[in-house]
Structure 1
């Protein structure tokens, strides 16, 4: 794959466009003239180098922000094992409370186990059958 270089001003435009979602405003913030930003900023988005930069950067941001399947399974496992902690207000007397770390409740552990079990198909409400089921049709034609 050929990656086309973009200049610093174009990169700044692309970064602002990712942040704002508005080509005209991104062009203005990147230092393009008001006239160019208003009438020609769409050309920046059509530039192959800028377009590729935006696509690659969006993919990076997506992978940083969105939990993948492995991360979700690991998190559920930590809850099930009591390794993940939450916070709760706990009364300490005299009408005062403080925030304390607490381990998952039994209900939270059961829910995590249920979700993991469902993911691995450990139990289902319906019978799951894979494969071919032969169908035999007999013709009982009396002559």
Structure 2
């Protein structure tokens, strides 16, 4: 379990990175404002944020966002599939952070097929058929 008393990118913190388009921010002459934020997963407090203007996207703003944190060493950073990028993983590793990123099937065919080309393929199965729920709330094969 992570230490809930650590905050602001210190060891033990878990941080969620996510982008949001600000509802109601679009005008007749401007596109809606889009923000990428890093939030403490325990309190929901936004620790850092950066604008994502119309000439770029969240991918290019990831490092700039996390550079605002004091020291992410030992921090667990979670993000959606958009951020499952080699550059992002390299950045997090260089800063000493841990990560949990969503991987979609079309992002890493080797990983989803349990190919030996994917490190750790023998220890997981991402292509297992989904279980179906039973009336008792357990999953059936």
Q: Larger % of helix: which? A: 1
Structure of higher RCO (CA pairs closer than 8 Å, 6+ residues apart): 2
TM-score in same-fold range (> 0.5)? no
Q: Larger % of strand: which? A: 2
Shorter-chain TM band: under 0.3
Larger of the two Rg values belongs to structure: 1
Q: TM-score, normalised by structure 1?
A: 0.23
